Structure 1
Amino acid sequence: MAFLDRTVTYSPAYTIVPTYECFNRCSYCNFRTDPGKSPWLSLVDAEIQLKALKPAGVIEVLVLSGEVHPQSPQRKIWFQRIYDLCELALSLGFLPHTNAGPLSQTEMAQLRTVNVSMGLMLEQVTPKLLQSVHRHAPSKLPELRLQQLIWAGELQIPFTTGMLLGIGETVAERQETLTAIARIHQRFGHIQEVILQPYSPGKHEVWASSPFKSEDLVDTITLARQVLPTDITLQVPPNLIRDDGYLIACLEAGVRDLGGIGPRDEVNPNYPHPIDSELAATLKAAGWDLIPRLPVYPQYDEWLPSHLQTAVEKFRKSFARMNGLVHPGKRFLLPADP
C-alpha cells in the first residue's frame, strides 16, 4: 500500500473529562460548568469507561478538562487527577493526549512522561477579543497561550494547536495568528498539526452568533497552507462541516487530517461525530482515502521517553504486520490491537 497524496487521516479516539468545571467563562462555550457544580471523574469510573473501549478499536484517549485556577487550592488535586488518568490509559493499552488549558512549565514536564502528545488551542492572538468573547476568560491571554507553545517546543512535546474561527477576528488577524504559530514551529519543529475550527453555535452558550461560513473556512485553509510550514498538518473537524461538498473542498485546499473521531464531541456536543466507515465511504466517492493514525506522528517518536516509545512501537509493529509494509516517516501507521 503506497502513500497517496489524496490521503486524509483521523485518530480513533475517546474523550475523558476529569471535570467540566472551569474558571473561564468564554461566551461561546458549550462545555463548561461553574466550579462546584459538577462531579469530577473518579479513577474507578474512568477505568470502567476505558475497559469498555478495547473492542472498539480506540487508540487515542483525549484527556480534555475544564480549567482550575492556578492559585486555587484544588489545582494540585486537579493536576494529579489528570496525571493519574493518563497513567491509567497507558496501563490499559491506550495512548494519551492531554488538552487541559494553560499549564506551568513544571506541569507540562510532568505530563510529558505520560502523554505521547499534548495540545492547546491558541484560538486568536488579537487582544481585542479580551473585550468581547474572552472578557471573562483570564487564561485566554494571547501571551499566556503563546508561552505554552514555546514551552512545549523547549520540552520537545509533540504538539497540536489551532484557531477558533469566527469569534470576532478579521482576516488579517487570522494571518497574524498563523504567522505566530509558524514562527514558533520554525524555532522548535514540534507542532504536528493546526486545527482550523469554525465557530458553530450550541445550545448552552450565551453568545449565539452566526456560524462561520464554509466558504470562509476554505479561504482560511488556503491562507494557512501559504503561511504555515509544509510539515505542519492542517486539520478540520468534519462534524462542524455540514455539507460534504465543502468537506471535499477543504481537502482540496490543503487539509490532510480530520482529528479525533469518537462517540461524542465534548466541545461541540450539538454536533455528533460522523461514523468513520460512513465518512470513509463519502471521501472514497470523491477520490480520497481515509486512514487512521496514532496521536503522535512517527517523526516525533524519538522525542518520547523510552517507555512511551515502547508503547508506540507496539502499535506501529502491529500495523506493519497487518499490512505487510512499513511506511517510514508517514503519519498513518496504526494497528487495530497491540
Structure 2
Amino acid sequence: MPVLISSIVTYSPAYTIVPTYECFNRCTYCNFRSDPGQSPWLTLAAAEDIYKGLQNEQVCEILILSGEVSPHSPQRAAWFQRIYDLCELALAMGFLPHTNAGLLRFAEMQKLKSVNVSMGLMLEQLTPALLKTVHRHAPSKLPELRLQQLEWAGELQIPFTTGLLLGIGETSDDWWETLAAITQIHQRYHHIQEVILQPHSPGTQQTFDAPPFDPHQLPAVIAKARQILASDITIQIPPNLVKDERWLLACIEAGARDLGGISPKDEVNPDYPHLQEQELREILQPAGWELVPRLPIYPQFDSWMSGELQAAVKQWRKTLTPVSILQGQGSKNLPIF
C-alpha cells in the first residue's frame, strides 16, 4: 500500500565531521567546544579514511560541524580552507555536504555554495538579554549578525536550516519573535528548509546551571511554531533529546515532521546518544508514522545548485526515495526528499 504524505516523518542518514572543536565563543551551555589551540584540526587524510569507511553504509549527508575561529585570527583563512577542502573531498567521494560552521562572511558563504547542497546556522534566540548571561563571552551570538547570515543565504540562494535553542534563559515571547523573524526572511527569499526546535539538555562540560527544558512543553511550542512559520518550512526535533516515547509522538502529532541527521554520535549533545533508525521505526510505526530517509536538500531547491551538485543529488534521490511512495504520490509532489 502506498505511504500517505501526511503520515511521513523524515530523517537524514548522516555522519558528522568536525574540522576542529576549538571555538572563540564561550557559550555557558556548550558541551562541544574546546579553547583555541587545544583541539587538533582534522586532516584531509584522516577525513578520507572516514569517508572511505562510510561509502557502503548508505550515508548520504556529511555534516561539516565546526567550532568557530575568530574572524580576526591569523588562522581564519586556513580554517575556512580546511572546511572547504573537507566539503570538496566529501563531494568527490560521493557524499552530499552540509556545512554549519557558525558565522561566515558573505564571500565565504558564496564559495562554500559550490561544494555544499545546503548550509545552516542556529539563531538560538534573538533576544539581546542573553548577551548579558549565556552569550556574555560569545561575540558571534549577536542577534543582528545571525539574522544577517540568514539574509545572505537567501541572497545567495543557499537552501538553509536554522533553529531555536529552548531553555537558555529566554521567554516564550522570545520564541515567537524569533520564529516570526525567520518567517519574515523566508517570505522574501523562500530558502529556509527546516527550523530545529532543540530543548536545552544539560551535559557534563557546560557551566550553565539550569535544568533541562521540559519536553512536556515541546508539543505546545511546536503547535504554535507551526502556526507562525511558513507552511513550506519543516519543523525538526532531535529525538535523542526527547526521552519519553509518548512525548516524541506527541511532538510529531503537533507538527514536527523531521528528526534531523541520524549519525553514530551527536557532537553537540555528546551525553545523549542518537536513537538509530530501527529504534525510531519501532516507536513510530505502531502509531501510524512511516520513517523515510531524505537528502540534505529538498527538491524545490535543486535548480539553485551547480550542474555537478545536481548530478550528485539526482543519483542519491534514485537511491533513497522509497518506491511505494513514488508509485502512490508522484515524486513531483514530495517536498521532503
TM bin, normalised by shorter chain, reads over 0.9
TM-score when normalising by structure 1: 0.96
Q: Which residue of 1 aligns with 2:331?
A: 327
| Letter paired with 2:57 | A
Q: Which residue of 2 aligns with 1:288?
A: 289
Unaligned runs of 5+ in 1: 334-338
Cα distance in 2 for residues equivalent to 1:78 and 1:13: 23
| Letter paired with 2:231 | T
Cα distance in 2 for residues equivalent to 1:210 and 1:138: 25
Question: Matched residue pairs, number?
Answer: 333
Specify the SS of the correspondent of 1:266: coil
Q: How big is the shift at 1:65?
A: 0.1
Q: How big is the shift at 1:330?
A: 1.3
Specify the SS of the correspondent of 1:268: coil
Q: Deviations over 1:259-288 (max 9, x none)?
A: 000100000000000111111111001111
TM-score when normalising by structure 2: 0.97
Cα distance in 2 for residues equivalent to 1:160 and 1:151: 13
Cα distance in 2 for residues equivalent to 1:56 and 1:101: 28
Cα distance in 1 for residues equivalent to 2:177 and 2:155: 22
Is 1:26 aligned to 2:38, yes or no? no
Are 2:236 and 2:258, in contact at CA under 8 Å, matched by a contact in 1? yes
Is 1:184 aligned to 2:185, yes or no? yes
Q: Which residue of 2 aligns with 1:336?
A: none
Cα distance in 1 for residues equivalent to 2:210 and 2:262: 26
Q: How big is the shift at 1:2?
A: 4.1
Cα distance in 1 for residues equivalent to 2:49 and 2:204: 29
Counterparts of residues 243-282 of structure 1 (less than 5 Å): 243-282=244-283
Change (3 A) 1:229 1:332: closer
Q: Which residue of 2 aligns with 1:113?
A: 114
Cα distance in 1 for residues equivalent to 2:303 and 2:55: 27
Query: Which runs of at least 4 in structure 1 moved beyond 2 Å after TM superposition?
Result: 1-4, 317-326
Specify the SS of the correspondent of 1:72: coil
Cα RMSD after superposing both structures: 1.2
Cα distance in 1 for residues equivalent to 2:4 and 2:13: 20
Q: How big is the shift at 1:4?
A: 2.6
Specify the SS of the correspondent of 1:211: coil
Cα distance in 2 for residues equivalent to 1:274 and 1:317: 26
Specify the SS of the correspondent of 2:45: helix
Cα distance in 2 for residues equivalent to 1:3 and 1:327: 12
Are 1:19 and 1:38, in contact at CA under 8 Å, matched by a contact in 2? yes
Q: Which residue of 2 aligns with 1:88?
A: 89
Counterparts of residues 168-247 of structure 1 (less than 5 Å): 168-247=169-248
Q: Which residue of 2 aligns with 1:150?
A: 151
Specify the SS of the correspondent of 1:98: strand
Change (3 A) 1:293 1:39: same
Greater CA drift, 144-153 or 304-313: 304-313
Q: Deviations over 1:59-115 (max 9, x none)?
A: 000000000000110000000000000001001100000000010000000000000
Cα distance in 2 for residues equivalent to 1:182 and 1:319: 29
Cα distance in 2 for residues equivalent to 1:51 and 1:208: 41
Are 2:293 and 2:321, in contact at CA under 8 Å, matched by a contact in 1? no
Cα distance in 2 for residues equivalent to 1:257 and 1:318: 19
Change (3 A) 1:181 1:133: same
Q: Which residue of 2 aligns with 1:43?
A: 44
Cα distance in 2 for residues equivalent to 1:291 and 1:196: 20
Q: Deviations over 1:136-176 (max 9, x none)?
A: 00000000000000000000000000000000010111111
Greater CA drift, 120-129 or 208-217: 208-217
Q: Which residue of 2 aligns with 1:100?
A: 101
Cα distance in 2 for residues equivalent to 1:249 and 1:320: 26
| Letter paired with 2:139 | P
Specify the SS of the correspondent of 2:165: strand
Q: Which residue of 1 aligns with 2:317?
A: 316
Cα distance in 1 for residues equivalent to 2:4 and 2:94: 27
Unaligned runs of 5+ in 2: none
Are 1:291 and 1:332, in contact at CA under 8 Å, matched by a contact in 2? no
